[in-house]
Chains A and B, each alone.
Chain A
């Protein structure tokens, strides 16, 4: 069984500040990990993924995430927030290859001036 915990349902940062969205997972098999972003009234867009190999993965829009097996974490970061980053962010885990994703409850990111 797999599960995802996202700490903080709402995160507010100032424009230009560091963005840190937390994700911890539980998996009985080596996990595949994903971050998706959902803008208002839109679908889910893949930001980045970790499957195997390098534990620091870079995605679109300047986001990156680091897989830390010892901490069972996959936190999402961006050095400098932009107003356009305001959205809901979902962490998800899968058991690999083609299989269902298990999502966290999401974190709404607010970016203020």
Chain B
């Protein structure tokens, strides 16, 4: 069964460093999302992406964040200068146009020290 994959599973970085989280969505999906879950808190929407552009973003998704679909298969989330409060589990999700179902990847745990 097709699935969303994410790499790395765990990333540790120092405050102020840039990180890139990678996702490979399901191949025939058209809509892509990033969510995050700070430890012990709810899953929060960050950004949605369709037709090679951002369709919606949350207040969390400020100028430090960017997304890209560089090669038609990968979907990346970049944090330019990480802060301690960026420590969280980051989930990628993708959606087929017709089924209104978002399929989530296993997540990348980002730890900022």
Contact = CB atoms under 8 A, between A and B. Distances in A.
Contact of A100 (B30, B48, B103): B48
Contacts of A105: 41-42
The bracket for how many chain B residues form the interface is 20 to 34
Contacts of A43: 4, 91, 104-107
A51 B102 CA distance: 13
Contacts of B30: 98
Contacts of B97: 98
Given A42-B106, A44-B91, A96 B100 contact: yes
Contacts of A84: none
A93 B31 CA distance: 17
Nearest to B57: A100
B95 A98 contact: yes
B91 A99 contact: no
Interface of A: 32, 34, 36, 42-46, 49, 51, 90, 92, 94, 96-106
Interface of B: 4, 30-31, 33, 35, 41-45, 48, 50, 55-56, 58, 91, 93, 95, 97, 100-107
Given A96-B100, A99-B48, 16 more contacts: A34-B102, A42-B106, A43-B4, A43-B107, A46-B102, A92-B43, A98-B31, A98-B48, A99-B56, A100-B56, A101-B43, A101-B45, A101-B102, A103-B43, A104-B42, A105-B42
Top 8 nearest A-B pairs (CB, nearest first) are A100-B45, A44-B104, A43-B106, A103-B43, A98-B31, A43-B104, A105-B42, A103-B42
7 contacts: A34-B102, A46-B102, A49-B100, A98-B30, A98-B50, A99-B48, A100-B58
